[in-house]
Structure 1
Amino acid sequence: MSAEVRALTIWDRERLGISLGAAALIFLAAIESLAVTTVMPVVAEDLDGMALYAVAFAGTLATSVIGMVAAGAWSDRAGPRRPLYAAVILFIIGLVVAGIATTMPVFLLGRLVQGLGAGAQTVALYVVVARVYPAHLHGRIFAVFAAAWVVPSMIGPFLAGAVTEFLHWRWAFLGVAVLVVIAFTIVAVKLRAAPLGPIASDPAEGDASTPGVKIGLRMFLAVVIALSAVGVGLAAEVPGILGWVAAAGCVLVIVIAIVPLVPKGMLRARPGLPSVVLLRGIVAGAFFAAEAYIPFLLLAEFDFSPTWAGLALTLAALAWASGSALQGRYGEAIGSRRIAALSLLLLGIGMVSLLVVAVSGAVPWLAIIGWGFAGGGMGLLYPRLTVLTLAFSRPGTEGFNSAALSISDATGAAVAIAVAGLAFATVSPIASGFLAVFGVGLLLVLGGIVPGLRLGSAPIEERH
């Protein structure tokens, strides 16, 4: 790599506006995500929808799969500019609908629309990175994306709790919508002149990431996955063992439908890109399924206020950002397999801490500290998996592979949250329900060991 190429940075004149604009969108997505996790116990009680608590999380992740597939195909064919614009508009609409909802079904509708926008935005931004930034800068820009969670992690959960406690939970959605409109206006101007057109892939080349499926079928499969993931969450409404049977059937449908949308060999943890994509889904499922119930645990078992329950997530978010910054600077020196091993260890510590608190019914601060370890593990691993995905991708396939990574992420999280919700609903008393939820998380962490050892490496320096 020449000295001239190495001198390029994500903050040079050509990329400064794009870096800031993309980081702003990530920042606001982080605010919304942290706010929802904090305020959902209050929303579910206010709208008489506690039975749909898990679906409010899983449904958003499920519909994000549709957005990911659409944005991936659209970006590969026409560039990521218009997919990104459409994604942000959908995200804003979803926030407004959720913010004005007076019933739980309407609130869920808003969350589903949010998912469409959030999923498409993630993929479109990944393709923006692939088209605008040299490969040796990918680790740095993804570290910035993760660092965009720093301020939200410091103020987001606390602010969402305070808004809920002293104003109303609706402003946790409507306020973010206003800020997204402002950020979107700025981003649209900055991206107008960026080189984001399509790149033709070489049909003579083939690898595990080649789509091999027409966009119509891919969209149909994405819808099937989304509906099945919501079905897993709704299985909690089915009494007795029939609920678990229904959930198992939905999971089987998801496994069958996801195969054409991800790299060949993913379900077998084939070395390289397939294991990268599989590990992303596993750790997303473990982390987000457990995190969705931490504020609930603190409110129900330890009488925390919404404000203080929101603060419980701050340490993990700060640790996530710190881990991501560490990966961005030293990731190549540490190596992907070592990062995976360390990250799974930290996630395991977090899950065990939650289990101890759930079993003992005491020391709630142990859950907060332990979850900080889990956040650090996610910060190390998440951007590394994204860097590897782009490094394994040929020009013109970044959209498909980025979509596959995000599909695995969202599907893993949606299914895990739904299964955790089913376990929580069918186990009594409530303390045992929390034990079941965090037990699901620990099992997933252990399941990540195999793909973690098979990540492999890709010629990141030669990618461009």
Structure 2
Amino acid sequence: MSDSVQGQWSEIFTPRYATVTLILCLGVALLAFNSFLATVSLPTAVGELGGVALISWALTLFLVFAIVGGAGAALLKHRLGARTALLVSAGVFLIGTLIAASASSMPIVLVGRSLQGLGEGVVAAICFALIPELFPSRLVPKVFGMQAMIWAIAAFGGPAVAGLLTEMVSWRAAFLFSVPLVLIFGVMVAFVVPAKSPSDGTVMGFPGLRLLAIGVGIMLVALAGIAEPLLAAALLMGAAVLLVAAVWLDGRSAERLMPPDAFRPVSVVGTGLWMTLLINVAGAGSAVYLVLVLQQMWGYGPTMAGVIAAVMAVAWSASAIAVANVRQKETRKLLIKAGPAMIGIGLLLVLLGLEMDLLAIVVVGQLVIGSGFGTCNGYLNLTMMEAASDAERDRTSALMPTTQSAGNAIGAALAGVAANSAGLATAVSVGDFKVAVMPVFLLGAFMAALAFVAAWRTVSLVKPQDANSSFAAG
């Protein structure tokens, strides 16, 4: 793509692209709103059904199955075609939603949440894979900007909708909020998304061992977040072995789930995936603990603490939209490198604000963190898409949201280990909390520094011909 060719925001809303844009936004909305709806409504569900010990598993199982679904999405798209794969996975999500909403016990809620995660993992990954198929390169940053805007809307609107529905109707109504979204999504997919069949008649095997290794590995990561430090270390080591084994096995399989250079620091795709993983690991600790810490340290209510946490999502959206018109390749490379640096600086500012009891610094830190994600995320994804070969673009694109989810899971677990080791679970005074949160944010800043190294390596590997692929030329 020539730097002189620049897409306008209005173009993604023209008749040619408007329906596709809406489909992709709905796919993101399913995940974004469902995340906030479940977080707000589940405590009430536990109060009615019992099983408080299982509440954390409602998120854990959703995340594990979402990652497994995302890992297998490219293969599913190849075997069934994009339209059928999206309709099947949306159907699985819908069934999971109905099961969770009608559950008579928490174990049944967990079954529903698992199916929701599996369906949403596939939907999110295939929606990512469709971006380079349905949009020219010049419009991709705008698409990512729109998706960031959906997350910001969900960050503010999701808790409000869930709270109102839970209080005025029931927690079941909050779960059912996703039903019209998935139905509209399914109808639009059926009429708009192309039904491409596999490129050949080859019958492809089911990658059960690799998906099992990925699923168990992420499960061990989740368990590490709530375990004692020594056991947590052992669980994380076991998870690392399983996840590395899954990547190794995949690289030697005839029917791969991932591109051949996934997580190998010799290509743009390999280092780009590392950067994707690390920035999400970096941001997860703040996402998990900031609301809790603001309530415990400063006595804020859930709404006020939630608004401060949501500042990051708004900054993410605003910055993604602000940089979406950048044309110069060198400027895009600079933005990719700036993102992790901003995330690290923002985390340190939030920590400083908490330690000094200064809300203004915390808010500024949140703004910097969100701006860091919004600044680099779209162009990092675009760079990997452009660098991938035509044969590997589906696998590369589908792996991006899966890697983001894995980073969030790993980051939450590592933050849990750091917080528990520092005594967060037994903290009672403000001083105790200040000591306990310090390793959480320092760990995040360290991960952001590693992401900066990966970003530097990624842009240094970009070749001029990467921007001249059939995708970029579209």
TM normalised by structure 2 equals 0.81
Partner of 2:254: none
Does the 8 Å CA contact 1:10/1:19 hold for their aligned counterparts? yes
Displacement of 1:417 in angstroms is: 1.3
Measured in 2, the distance between the counterparts of 1:237 and 1:127 equals: 34
Partner of 1:206: none
Partner of 1:204: none
The counterpart of 2:289, out of the listed 290, 293, 302, is: 293
Percent identity of equivalent pairs: 22
1:388-421 CA distance string (max 9 Å, x none): 2221233343221123323322222212212222
1:73 is matched by which residue type in structure 2? L
Deviates more, 1:362-371 or 1:98-107: 98-107
Partner of 2:446: 443
2:132 is matched by which residue type in structure 1? A
Aligned residues: CA RMSD: 3.4
Measured in 2, the distance between the counterparts of 1:6 and 1:343 equals: 23
Partner of 2:430: none
C-alpha distance 185-262 of structure 1, shift in aligned 2 (>3 A): closer
Partner of 1:209: none
Does the 8 Å CA contact 2:228/2:417 hold for their aligned counterparts? no
Measured in 2, the distance between the counterparts of 1:189 and 1:37 equals: 31
1:142-192 CA distance string (max 9 Å, x none): 3222222343244334444565677665544332x233244325423542x
Aligned counterparts, 1:68-147, within 5 A: 68-99=70-101, 105-147=107-149
Displacement of 1:67 in angstroms is: 1.0
Measured in 2, the distance between the counterparts of 1:118 and 1:383 equals: 21
C-alpha distance 74-181 of structure 1, shift in aligned 2 (>3 A): closer
C-alpha distance 117-40 of structure 1, shift in aligned 2 (>3 A): same
Measured in 1, the distance between the counterparts of 2:352 and 2:166 equals: 29
Matched, 1:398 2:400: no
Does the 8 Å CA contact 1:65/1:222 hold for their aligned counterparts? no
C-alpha distance 58-185 of structure 1, shift in aligned 2 (>3 A): closer
Q: Which runs of 5+ in 1 are unaligned?
A: 202-213
Displacement of 1:43 in angstroms is: 7.1
Does the 8 Å CA contact 2:259/2:395 hold for their aligned counterparts? no
C-alpha distance 424-86 of structure 1, shift in aligned 2 (>3 A): farther
Partner of 1:195: 194
Partner of 2:206, secondary structure, is helix
Does the 8 Å CA contact 1:59/1:112 hold for their aligned counterparts? yes
The counterpart of 1:23, out of the listed 13, 19, 25, is: 25
Displacement of 1:224 in angstroms is: 1.5
1:316-354 CA distance string (max 9 Å, x none): 111111121123211645534311222112211221133
Does the 8 Å CA contact 1:127/1:398 hold for their aligned counterparts? yes
Measured in 2, the distance between the counterparts of 1:121 and 1:169 equals: 25
Measured in 2, the distance between the counterparts of 1:36 and 1:441 equals: 26
Count how many residue pairs are aligned between Structure 1 and Structure 2.
447
Displacement of 1:460 in angstroms is: 5.2
Displacement of 1:315 in angstroms is: 1.6
C-alpha distance 345-57 of structure 1, shift in aligned 2 (>3 A): farther
Partner of 2:324: 328
Displacement of 1:445 in angstroms is: 0.7
Partner of 2:68, secondary structure, is helix
2:437 is matched by which residue type in structure 1? F
Displacement of 1:275 in angstroms is: 1.0
Does the 8 Å CA contact 2:336/2:380 hold for their aligned counterparts? no
Q: Which runs of 5+ in 2 are unaligned?
A: 251-256, 428-432
Displacement of 1:291 in angstroms is: 0.6
The counterpart of 2:378, out of the listed 374, 383, 390, is: 383
